[in-house]
């Protein structure tokens, strides 16, 4: 009989590629993870992982078991959801991880909606970028992630996750007041090819949006200043340190007196925001109202 908790460990090892990283994500020791993998191999009668200098990879037998693991764990999530519904499931805590602007845009309004319409549901919010929040969902550290599409992100048909689209928003060009393009109604990105750029760090999903937009315009941005805080990005642009692309919602409430904000000429770079839960958990009586509240907040 294969134990479900060992399947969780197998998937974590497949996701994180090393025993040490999987152990940290699961709040276990590396030796405990290794012991559980060995036990799983004994249960299945197959070698499931191979260890090398660059980490751990699944054997063909391990890949077969992983494909079933995703289906089994999704079904267990559905079972928990149905049991919670049977027991009413009207009160409990749901943990949501989201990036800062997403918290302001949809999470905080969703919290207010739930306080009015589902007061038994308590929301715990954690600030985390999309590339961090999705692994947190898979590792069962949080229940819901509000994330942004980015290169390398799990796709919408990933068997481990259920995606719920929330909203899409354009990036605007932010240039210093004295910039040569400050007076144009729309900024052609190609005209910024020789400028110094300010932007998020690699790994931040918005970094990918900026780089891909510039690549589509025919150049690699010369990113000399890096910050994941868009207030800092705008402050640097105000100091004539460079130009930037900033999500439109992130500019709300900022001091923009030292910069000019203009739409991008042509097809604007866009970030697409979605909520994600472990597949099968979307019907849980605590999680379903949270997803509905996030959707309503996004539409508003």
Q: Is the dihedral of CA 288, 289, 290, 294 positive or negative?
A: positive
The string of pLDDT tens digits covering residues 90-134 is 678 999 999 989 999 999 999 999 999 988 889 999 999 877 899
Residues 216 and 285 in one domain: no
Residues 216 and 195 in one domain: yes
The string of pLDDT tens digits covering residues 138-166 is 999 999 999 998 777 788 889 999 999 99
Contact predicate 73/3, CB 8 Å: no
Residues 259 and 127 in one domain: no
179 lies in which domain range?
A: 168-271
CATH number at residue 152: 3.40.190.10
Residues 225 and 179 in one domain: yes
What is the Cα–Cα distance from 39 to 35, expressed in whole angstroms? 6
Which residues, including other chains, have CB under 8 Å from residue 219's CB and lie 6 or more apart? 190, 193
Tell me which of 36, 63, 83 is where a domain ends.
83
pTM of the entire predicted model: 0.71
Residues 277 and 213 in one domain: no
Contact predicate 66/11, CB 8 Å: yes
Number of structural domains found in the chain: 3
Residues 175 and 266 in one domain: yes
């Amino acid at each position: 009989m294969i134990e479900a908790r060992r399947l969780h460990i197998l998937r974590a090892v497949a996701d994180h590629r090393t025993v040490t990283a999987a152990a940290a994500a699961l709040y276990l020791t590396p030796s405990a993870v290794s012991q559980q993998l060995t036990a799983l191999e004994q249960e299945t009668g197959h070698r499931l992982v191979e260890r090398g200098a660059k980490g751990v990879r699944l054997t063909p037998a391990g890949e077969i078991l992983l494909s079933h693991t995703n289906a089994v764990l999704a079904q267990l999530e559905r079972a928990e959801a149905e049991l919670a519904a049977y027991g009413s499931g009207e009160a409990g805590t749901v943990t949501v991880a989201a990036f800062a602007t997403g918290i302001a845009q949809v999470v905080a309004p969703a919290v207010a909606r739930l306080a009015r319409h589902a007061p038994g549901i308590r929301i715990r919010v954690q600030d985390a970028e999309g590339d961090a929040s999705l692994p947190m969902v898979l590792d069962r550290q949080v229940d819901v992630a509000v994330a942004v599409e980015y290169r390398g992100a799990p796709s919408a048909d990933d068997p481990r996750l259920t995606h719920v689209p929330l909203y899409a928003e354009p990036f605007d060009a932010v240039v210093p007041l004295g910039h040569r393009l400050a007076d144009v109604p729309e900024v052609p990105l190609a005209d910024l090819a020789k400028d110094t750029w300010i932007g998020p760090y690699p790994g931040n999903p918005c970094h990918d949006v900026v780089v891909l937009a510039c690549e589509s315009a025919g150049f690699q941005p010369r990113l000399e200043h890096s910050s994941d805080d868009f207030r800092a990005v705008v402050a640097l642009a105000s100091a004539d340190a460079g130009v930037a692309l900033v999500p439109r919602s992130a500019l709300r409430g900022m001091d923009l007196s030292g910069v000019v904000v203009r739409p991008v000429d042509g097809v604007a770079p866009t970030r697409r925001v979605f909520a994600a839960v472990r597949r099968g958990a979307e019907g849980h009586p605590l999680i379903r109202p949270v997803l509905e509240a996030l959707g309503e907040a996004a539409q508003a």
